[in-house]
Amino acid sequence: MAKRKSNRHIVAQATPDFRNFKADVMRREGYRVDPQHPDDVKYEVAEAIGIPLKHGDNGDLTSEKAGKIGGVIGGSMVREMIRLAKQGLADRQ
């Protein structure tokens, strides 16, 4: 049996900052983000793209559909990290 992926960050102390970053990025993308539960933005993203994600068991959800939800969130975060990196390089020159 395959080992399940762990959702723990390598640097556990970074978890709150990572969640805040996700919340800020997704808020700028136009999604409603609950500051107390920023990870719940996935439900709003799923609704916006027409995927029936629900709290609890989503065993009937295909990996393609789950990937679309994560792609919206992760893609937005990566674009923002690249923008910040470029800005940091420009500021150093």
Q: Which of 24, 61, 20, 27 is nearest to 44 (CA)?
A: 27
Q: Which of 24, 30, 28, 22 is nearest to 49 (CA)?
A: 30
Query: What pLDDT sits at residue 86?
Result: 96
Extents of the domains making up the chain: 12-92
Query: What does the pLDDT average to over 15-26?
Result: 89
- Sorted by sequence, the CB contacts under 8 Å of residue 64 that are 6+ apart come out as none
pTM, entire model: 0.77
Query: What pLDDT sits at residue 84?
Result: 95
Give the pLDDT confidence of 29-84 residue by residue, as tens digits: 999 998 888 888 999 999 999 999 989 888 899 999 999 999 999 999 999 999 99
